[in-house]
Chain A
C-alpha cells in the first residue's frame, strides 16, 4: 500500500528512480539560465518539446532593456523548439499549468520552487533548478528520490473569516521551515471535501515553505468537475491505507486569521494579537492568492469603501482577470482605489512593480517574507486575502470580521 507520491513515482519511499516527466516548465526568470545550460550541453533537439512549457510571469512586461533582451532570446528559442509558450500578460506559470494542463497522476517538474502548487490536482509536482531542467529538456526525464510523506489530516470546515491561507500558514508554523525537508505532504481527511480547488492550490503552494518537495491532494469529485470544465475526463484517486512518517491533525473550524512575521514564514501569530500595526502597502496576488476566489473575496470585503493605504492587486492569470472583469469585481476593485497590475508575479520577488523602500511595511498575500525580498529595508507580513481586505479598509493591520 502506497502514499500518493509512491504510487505516482512507482517505487517505495527512499528509492532512487529515473522517470520521464509529463510536463516540464520554466518561466522568464529561470528559463534564461536553463537555456544557458542547455546550450552548454549541446544536446541537439529536445526529447519531448510537446511536454515543455515556457511561461513568462516574473518580470512582465520587461522592466528594462537587459531583461527585455534576455526574454527575447528565450521567447525566440521556445518558438523555434515548438515548446508551449505564453507571453507577458497571460499569467503566473503555476496558475496557467493549473488551468486544465496538469492532471492527476502526472509527474510535473517546474524550474520554480512553487511548482508544488500543482499537487492540488493529484500530480507529483516539484521544483527543480535550471541545469536539472536543461537535462530534462534533453532527456525528457530525470532522477527522483521517492520521498517519505507527512500527512496533514483535516476535519470539519473553515468557519468565519478564516481561509485556506490561514490554514497554510498554521501548518507551516507547526512543521517549521524545514520540518518537511526531503519529504512530501499529503492533504487528507474528510475536511478536504469542503475546500475549493483555488483553496487547495493555496495549501499545496505553501508546502515548499516547510521544505517539502511536493504537497498533494487526492483528486476527488471537485477535481474531476474542475478539470471536466477544461475538457478532461479524469477519475478520482482513491487513497489507500499507507504508512505516513508523521501525521498532523487540524480541526478546520479552529483555524483563525494569522500573520507570518518577517523574516520567517513559520513565525505565525493570530492577527488579533497584532491589530493596529501601521502599514505602507497591501499586496494581493501571486501563485498563493491571486486567483478568482481571492479577488472576489477581497471585493466582497471592501463593500464599496475606499482603501486607506496603497493597495496593489495582481490577478494570477488572464482568465482570472477576464472573469473579474465580466463579473464586475474588477470595477469594484478599481473604484475602491486599488492599483491593478497585469497578470504575473508582480512585486513578490522585489524585481519591479511595488518594490518597497527602506522602513516600509507591506501586508502581502504571497508566500515569502524573507529579509529585503520586496526591496532593501522593507518588511513583509504574510496574511490571507480577508485580512488584507480588512487592513486595506482600515489603513492598518486589522482582523477580518465574520461576513453577514
Chain B
C-alpha cells in the first residue's frame, strides 16, 4: 500500500469542528462534507484538497468523535494524513473508513511531493525519508480492505 500526493501543511491541534463544522453534519450527502472541509480554517482549502497528503502538527483530529471529519477528507480527495500524533477517536475513524493515517514527525512545505507506506512505516517528503512505527497488524488489515465495513464483510 502506497499513498502519494502533494503536501498540504497544517498546524497542530486541528480539531474536528474545524475539519467539518457541526452546522453541516445533518445530511446523508457526503459531498456536502467535502465541500465544507476546513471551511472555518480557510474557506479556500476545500477545492484544493484533491490529490493532497495532509502533513499536520501534533494532535490532529482532536475534539468531537464525528466520523464525518474523516469522511469529509476522504471525499475531498485527500490521500492520507501524516502527523506526529492523532486524537485517538479520529485515528480509529480514519482507518475504519479507509483513509490512511501515519504517525510521523516530519517537516515539509506546501506542494512538496509526498509518498508514504503505512505498512512499511516510511514517509518520503521531497528528498527526506522518515522511518516510523507501522500500524498495528489489525489496523493494517482494516486499512488494506478499504475500511472496517469491507473488512467485516470480507471476513464473514
Residue of A nearest to B89 (CB): A127
User: B44-52, B104-112, B120-128, B148-156: which lies at the A interface?
Assistant: B148-156
Set of chain B residues within 8 Å of A132, measured between Cβ atoms: 92-93, 96, 148
- Contact between B21 and A30 (Cβ–Cβ < 8 Å)? no
Total interface residues on B, CB under 8 Å, equals: 39
User: A33-41, A235-243, A322-330, A388-396: which lies at the B interface?
Assistant: A33-41
What is the bound-complex CA distance between A33 and B89, given in angstroms?
A: 15
User: A4-12, A153-161, A177-185, A226-234: which lies at the B interface?
Assistant: A177-185
Which of A33, A127, A143, A177 touches B13 (beta carbons < 8 Å)? A177
Known: A43-B152, A132-B96, A371-B17. A178 touches B62 (CB 8 A): yes
- Contact between A37 and B26 (Cβ–Cβ < 8 Å)? no
What is the bound-complex CA distance between A41 and B89, given in angstroms?
A: 20
Set of chain A residues within 8 Å of B92, measured between Cβ atoms: 128-129, 132
Min CB distance A38 to B, Å, is 9
Min CB distance A18 to B, Å, is 9
Set of chain A residues within 8 Å of B63, measured between Cβ atoms: 113, 368, 370
What is the bound-complex CA distance between A29 and B26, given in angstroms?
A: 8
What is the bound-complex CA distance between A181 and B13, given in angstroms?
A: 12
Set of chain B residues within 8 Å of A350, measured between Cβ atoms: 21-23
Set of chain B residues within 8 Å of A261, measured between Cβ atoms: none
Total interface residues on A, CB under 8 Å, equals: 45
What is the bound-complex CA distance between A260 and B65, given in angstroms?
A: 21
- Contact between B152 and A181 (Cβ–Cβ < 8 Å)? no
Set of chain A residues within 8 Å of B27, measured between Cβ atoms: 66
- Contact between A177 and B68 (Cβ–Cβ < 8 Å)? no
Within 8 A of A (CB), among B1-51: 13, 15, 17-18, 21-23, 25-28, 40-41
Interface residues of B (CB under 8 A from A): 13, 15, 17-18, 21-23, 25-28, 40-41, 58-59, 62-68, 70, 85-89, 92-93, 96-97, 136, 138, 147-149, 152-153
8 A-B pairs with least C-beta separation: A178-B59, A129-B93, A131-B96, A129-B67, A113-B65, A349-B22, A370-B17, A130-B67
Q: 26 interchain pairs (CB within 8 A)? A: A29-B25, A30-B67, A37-B148, A41-B152, A43-B152, A112-B64, A112-B65, A128-B65, A129-B96, A131-B93, A132-B96, A135-B152, A177-B13, A177-B59, A181-B86, A181-B88, A182-B88, A350-B23, A351-B25, A370-B63, A371-B18, A371-B40, A372-B21, A373-B21, A373-B22, A376-B40
> A30-B66, A178-B62, A211-B88 provided; 16 other pairs, C-beta below 8 A?
A29-B25, A29-B66, A30-B67, A32-B26, A129-B65, A131-B97, A131-B149, A132-B96, A211-B87, A349-B64, A350-B22, A368-B64, A371-B17, A371-B41, A372-B40, A376-B40
